[in-house]
Amino acid sequence: MSEAAKLREEICLLAKSMFDRGLTCGASGNISARLTDGTILVTPTGSSMGFLDPARISHLDARFQHIDGDLPTKEVPLHSAFYDTRQQTGAVVHLHSTHSVAWSMLPEVDPEDVLPPLTPYSIIRVGRVKLLPFFLPGDPEMGNAVRGLAGQRSAVLLANHGPVVAGKDIWAASFAMEELEETAKLALLTRGLNPRQLSAEQISALYDMTGHSK
How high is the pLDDT of residue 209?
Answer: 84
How high is the pLDDT of residue 208?
Answer: 86
Tens-place pLDDT, residues 152-185:
999 999 999 999 999 999 999 999 999 999 999 9
Q: Let me know if 121 is a catalytic residue.
A: yes
Q: What is the mean pLDDT of residues 7-31?
A: 97
pTM for the whole thing? 0.95
How high is the pLDDT of residue 207?
Answer: 87
> What is the 3-class SS of the chain, one letter each residue?
CCHHHHHHHHHHHHHHHHHHCCCCCCCCCEEEEECCCCCEEECECCCCCCCCCHHHCEEECCCCCEEECCCECCCHHHHHHHHHHCCCCCEEEECCCHHHHHHHCCCCCCCCCCCCCCCHHHHHHCCCCEEECCCCCCCCHHHHHHHCCCCCCCEEEECCCEEEEEECCHHHHHHHHHHHHHHHHHHHHCCCCCCCCCCHHHHHHHHHHHCCCC
Tens-place pLDDT, residues 47-81:
999 999 999 999 999 999 999 999 999 999 999 99
Catalytic pick among 50, 77, 121, 203:
121
Q: What percent of the chain has pLDDT over 90?
A: 95
